[in-house]
Structure 1
């Protein structure tokens, strides 16, 4: 019975050190970004981050950003269908939906670039993805009677934060 507890203790110790080591990599990687807490919480919410290296961590973040952009595009598309009375709002929401779809496409391209270690191209695609929400926001500004929806503003902030974190980590990868 004593050897069972000893083996269990050794396995527990090994797992704890692996977990702490991986948590350390997440913390070390996120320290290179503007949004440390956001970076850490996003990565820790994905169970695959435990087994990832730095490049894997940024790929996880690209996946989260892609999901955000895709979900926002879908949200805007459904909102434009519901805005049947206001044609200007309907058109702006539809265009915004396209902008977020383009952001999603750019993020997918950045994931391919990261896989090939083309960090400059990945950087370029993430910068483009971060800029598409600006085009959406600007369309609302051109129509003074339209109010920029709070939910879209919230989603825009999340996408921009994700892109900023991704860009910071890509810069870190390119240097190391």
Structure 2
């Protein structure tokens, strides 16, 4: 919870801090994260970031996380069609796809929480979003004959890293 407080502390102290066309706030914010390059490239790719305050930067990353979770769900849904002969694999992939829907929902809830300045709840929802893909990984581990596909692992890591930047 300390990461969120460090990230959102400037919001409560300086709610109108903005970048005003330069990247000082973006760089300062990204330097406080574990994934500097991901943070920097993600925030710079959004046209609203250059004039954003810290709260808006967090919202940009949350939207990116929602898009990531939605894309992972779409990928997994398409993989279910390829697993038509393997009912166990189809079941697990369906459960994984559902976890990414839950992750997206949790991130959506964090946006609402941030709008209401309920930062503890926003933190909790982002943490949940980061953890949902782990449940997918655990599903594969329950069945010794199944291998956790690396393509799903890449998506899991991506969402976790985005959520870590938000926190």
Give the TM-score normalised by the residue count of structure 2.
Answer: 0.86
Q: Distance in 2 between matches of 1:142 and 1:34?
A: 31
| 2:84 equivalent in structure 1 | 84
Deviation at 1:19, TM superposition (A): 3.0
Deviation at 1:110, TM superposition (A): 0.3
Whether the 8 Å contact between 2:20 and 2:51 is mirrored in structure 1 is no
More helix by share: 1
Query: What pairs up with 1:49-128 in 2 under 5 angstroms?
Result: 49-128=49-128
Q: Which deviations, in whole Å up to 9, do the C-alpha atoms of 1:43-84 show, x marking residues without a partner? A: 111111112111000000000000100111111111112211
| Residue range with higher mean Cα deviation, 137-146 or 90-99 | 137-146
Q: Distance in 2 between matches of 1:57 and 1:18?
A: 13
Q: Distance in 2 between matches of 1:59 and 1:81?
A: 34
Q: What is the root-mean-square deviation of aligned Cα atoms in Å? A: 1.2
| 2:21 equivalent in structure 1 | 19
| 1:147 equivalent in structure 2 | 147
Moved over 3 A (4+): none
Greater Rg, structure 1 or structure 2?
A: 1
Whether the 8 Å contact between 2:59 and 2:111 is mirrored in structure 1 is yes
Deviation at 1:32, TM superposition (A): 1.7
Q: Distance in 1 between matches of 2:157 and 2:36?
A: 15
Q: Distance in 2 between matches of 1:124 and 1:75?
A: 26
| Residue range with higher mean Cα deviation, 136-145 or 32-41 | 32-41
